[in-house]
Amino acid sequence: MCRKGYYSNQFSYLFCVLKVGQLNTTLHMNRHTFILCLLISGSTMLAATGVLAQKPPQHLEPPYWWAGMEHDSLQLMVHAHNVAETVPAVDYPGVTLVNTVKSTNPNYIWLNLHLAEDVEPGRFDITFKKGRKKVYRYTYELKKREPGSAKRMGYSTKDVIYLITPDRFANGNADNDENSNLGDELNRDISLKRHGGDIQGVIDHLDYIDEMGFTAIWLNPILENRQPEYSYHGYSTTDFYEVDPRFGTNELYAGLAKEAAERDILLIKDVILNHIGSGHWWMSDLPDTNWLNFQDKYRITSHTREALQDPYGSEYDVRMHSQGWFVPTMPDMNQRNAQLATYLIQNNIWWTEFAGLGGIRVDTYSYPDKTFLTEWTRRMMQEYPNLNIVGEEWSLQPSIVSYWQRDKLTYDGYISYLPGLMDFPLQVAMIEGLREENGLSKLYQTLGKDKLYPHPEDLVVFADNHDMSRVFTQLDHDTAMFKQAMAYLLTTRGIPQVYYGTEILMGNPDSEDHGVIRSDFPGGWQGDRVNGFTGENLPEWRGEIQEFMAKLLNWRKTATAVHSGKMLHFAPEHGTYVYFRYNEEQKVMVILNKNRNSHSLDLKRFEELLGVGGEARDVISGRSYDLSGDSIDLPPREALILELKN
């Protein structure tokens, strides 16, 4: 039956009545005559009500917001044909339309709203008039926030982050593997094509991640990548508010966060503030003449990150670094455009609130506009004071990396609110320190530069990631050195990150192809002969490493000295490097021994922390060591993590 109250206007109601055939008997006329009368009367009604039969806006973003946010302003980007010719209006208690911003493109306007502190969650109409006629109407919603959302705790030194490339981890839903509207077809036989991994695959293996001892997961970007090829990695965003259908849905992504939280695992979102994919819907109707850098004719970035901090640097070099494009298929966004800057800020707040995120990782951190980065970090930390964010500044100089961290006293007065950064200097020192004959001093020397960081404990430490050879390959497939790398990674200062598959010694021998580096996790696809999740047909030596990693990771969960204790290290001698992590509850002595033979370690050097010594247990092997004597014998090419019992 047709219900008048359900329809937005009388024309819609009458059409429903006609459809069910009720008016034939009521009006005693044939159907054709009635339709003609209805069209005439409908036109009269439309003119009277001022509603035009036009489509609603193509895009209105953010699609909804929340009442009770710390920041009291909200910008809505509206995209519709000639929408700049309309006059928008809002009528809802606590919501005020402050102003409307137009650009050179009449198909866009931006509405700046003020949200009162006591505004209630609810729905309200935004109307767009042209003269006396209502051209568009959009029902907007302010949602109610989850309790405690603003005070959410982000990842910390207590956590170990598991980095996952979703397309290569596990295929939980084969029905979403291909989408003809998005390009880049599925082909597991080609390393740079899509392989079908998805969000459901991660959900299906949360128990494995939990049992291994990981407490946070960072997924490479999961938003839509409508690109013809090479988009599986996710770094060519074409819609900032939609998960790529080949990975799942927005709701499934939020579901992943919830299911992970049930296991005390946090979800970290990978964010790109610098560029978009050339298939982004903006590219067919750019919002403004300065929406992109080098919008008329792109130029490739110089990658001269040093220019941003060089007291003698030229504006030209700064511009060529920050405004140049990575590749022709990645248009570089101009964050100096005020509307775009606000759009990006709100987008990341939206995802944090919507998905209940426990952290954010920012891709190519130093490439966007510096002033924008200050405001982006300020707004993120304003809304979520306890959230953690890590920026990717791929530099090997701590002086350059440290520039971006919050509380840094910079030479030029630059202010940042960014909590942490990826520790690329220590990653290189770790690999070279273990590969080179006398390389352990590089670890010692690199940590000695921590004085440059306001908060070195907030750096994310790692042995490899999705953009470089896997650590097992970097260490020449040397299992002993791999174990030392993991022992160091999981006990040094900072927040460790481990790339998926590291725990079963995945590598990329004889290839630097990123598609090979990001190979499929065995067992993630139906029909895989080897299963790294269950251990089926996994070679014994890989299974032993998996057990080693699980033991070390699960021990670290309760190692308060590693989480928040002080660190004291001693200069490497005779192929060994010794450091301590300690607090009032626990004291841990870590020894890296690169010698190919058993080595006698003189304990007198460490009296300031050992005191009279005592008994200690190696958390890896379970062996006991007496530290009350003058020395101990170290097994060849092993790492010891000694938990002191006194």
Active site residue 363: yes
Please tell me the distance from the alpha carbon of residue 108 to that of residue 79, in angstroms, as a whole number: 5
Tell me the pairing of strands 460-462 and 495-499. parallel
Q: How many angstroms separate the CA atoms of 507 and 555, rounded?
A: 25
Q: Report the run of H or E that residue 282 belongs to, with start and end.
A: none
| SS3 label, residue 76 | strand
d(CA 225, CA 106): 27
> CA-CA distance, 508 to 477, in Å (whole number)?
10
Question: HEC string of 172-230?
Answer: CCHHHCCCCCCCCCECCCCCCCECCCCHHHHHHCHHHHHHHCCCEEEECCCEECCCCCC
Residues 6+ apart with CB under 8 A from 281: 59, 238, 239
- Compute the distance between CA of residue 390 and CA of residue 362 in angstroms, rounded to an integer: 6
- 170 to 372, 523, 529, 533, 550: CA distances (angstroms): 37, 7, 14, 10, 20
Residues 163, 233: Cα–Cα separation, whole Å: 13
Two tokens, residue 103 = 């650009």
Q: Other CB atoms closer than 10 Å to residue 407's CB: what's the count? A: 11
Q: What is the dihedral of CA 447, 453, 454, 459, to 10 degrees?
A: -70
Q: Is 505 helix (H, G, I), strand (E, B) or coil?
A: coil
Please give the Cα distance from 25 to 344 (Å, whole number). Answer: 58
Distance CA(512)–CA(492), nearest Å, equals: 28
Q: Please state, in angstroms and as integers, the Cα–Cα distance from residue 441 to each residue in 13, 397, 581, following that order.
A: 80, 16, 19
**What is each CA distance from 145 to 70, 94, 229, 347, 523, in whole angstroms?**
12, 16, 39, 16, 39
* Catalytic site residue from 224, 353, 363, 423: 363
Would you call 324 helix, strand, or coil by DSSP? coil
CB 140 within 8 A of CB 119: no
89: β partners: 127
Judge whether 118 counts as a catalytic residue: no
And the tokens for 89? 């209006």
What is the identity of the amino acid at 519?
A: S
C-alpha distances in Å from residue 344, one per residue of 250, 341, 363, 418: 18, 5, 14, 16
- Cβ atoms 357, 254 nearer than 8 A: no
- CA gap 630, 626 in Å, rounded: 10
Exactly one of 184, 392, 450, 638 is catalytic; name it. Answer: 392
Return d(Cα 278, Cα 359) in angstroms, integer: 27
Active-site amino acid positions = 363, 392
